[in-house]
Amino acid sequence: MRRQSAIVEPPGLTTNQAPFIEQARRDGQLYIHQPYELYTVENHEAWRRLFARIAPRWERYANEHFQAGIHSLCLDPLHVPRLEDVNRFLQPLTGFQAKAVSGYIPAFLFFDCLRNRTFPTTITIRPPDRLDYLPEPDIFHDVAGHVPMHTDRAFAETLVRFGECAHTAAELVAGIRDKHQQVRRLTSIIRAMARFFWFTIEFGLMRAKDGLRVYGSGLLSSFGEIEHAIESPEVQRYPIQLEWAVNQAFEIDHYQPLLFIVESFDHLFSLVDELERWMRQGKLDNVAPGEPAVNERDLRSFL
Ligand SMILES: [Fe+2]
């Protein structure tokens, strides 16, 4: 006999436990709205705890552009943010907008969103018993980790420029007749772009007057790793070299042992320019094998 529970908890918008998201995926909807009323007390509590414990570490380790961004977005430390509210502050600054998605977005579509100043944003939040690590992105990673960076003009232009590179890649491979060659080259280019994104936008460090600061969103949204990235003697930190970053494999399930430093967002922008030049010259056609894997959906999204 099934045991009836006296109080039925509403399902809410918890990572991997949200019927609203499951339904959207079944319906093939990538872009969705944020059904704000579905957030439970527990969901808001997870946001509150994540925000409260990391805020002092932002002051200590985050770059100044991020700190200005947190301030100008007026993020509520107590409640999961409404994307509408976030966008009201964000859009006048750089034209960027956070757009709710049901989950994974194939690579080309993701990059193309950046080109159109749109950031695909997860709306679910991690369960309160797993505040430290979750392989999937959640709204804390996306809105507290990424979106404040989008308030900075130079950073926003870099993202747009990076998004344009995906179009360059699609044009370059469109002309290749031999299917096998086309897939082989495209796989390598996507891998190179994913690695560049990982070592900059997700896990980048920046030189500052008083040492190193974090600007990568994977670090900015991790209470443990933001400190580890700057303080731990176990982390290798090197000035970024494009040829190294695009050939360097990474694993997602532990603290990063290798991080790259940029001088400024103008420096980062110039690296994206160089990435595109290398792509056109065929220098990204044979990057070192290894992580990340490039899946069928990513490949098809470029063709
Ligand atoms: Fe991210």
CATH topology of domain 19-302: Phenylalanine Hydroxylase (1.10.800)
Taking the whole predicted model, whether its pTM rises above 0.85 is answered as yes
For 152, phi then psi, to 5°, come to -90, 125
Å from CA of 26 to ligand 1 middle: 24
Q: What percent of the chain has pLDDT over 70?
A: 97
- Beta strand 236-239 with 258-262: parallel, antiparallel or unpaired? parallel
Confidence at 252, pLDDT banded by 50, 70, 90:
confident
What mean pLDDT comes out for the span 222-232? 97
Å from CA of 166 to ligand 1 middle: 18
Å from CA of 221 to ligand 1 middle: 9
For residue 7, the model assigns a pLDDT of 61
Å from CA of 215 to ligand 1 middle: 12
pLDDT of residue 136 exceeding 90: no
Å from CA of 141 to ligand 1 middle: 6
- Beta strand 258-262 with 205-208: parallel, antiparallel or unpaired? parallel
Interval 137-147: pLDDT, tens: 999 999 999 99
CB contact set of 41 (below 8 Å; sequence gap of 6+): none
Place of tokens 């970024």: 240
**Please, which residues bridge with residue 120 across strands?**
99
Å from CA of 256 to ligand 1 middle: 14
Å from CA of 120 to ligand 1 middle: 10
For residue 1, the model assigns a pLDDT of 45
Å from CA of 252 to ligand 1 middle: 11
Interval 117-134: pLDDT, tens: 999 999 999 998 889 878
For residue 133, the model assigns a pLDDT of 77
pLDDT of residue 242 exceeding 50: yes
Euclidean distance between the first and final Cα of the chain, in Å?
A: 53
Confidence at 226, pLDDT banded by 50, 70, 90:
very high
Å from CA of 239 to ligand 1 middle: 22
Q: What percent of the chain has pLDDT over 90?
A: 92
Å from CA of 177 to ligand 1 middle: 34
Confidence at 13, pLDDT banded by 50, 70, 90:
very high
How is the chain split into domains, by residue range? 19-302
What mean pLDDT comes out for the span 45-73? 97
Å from CA of 121 to ligand 1 middle: 9
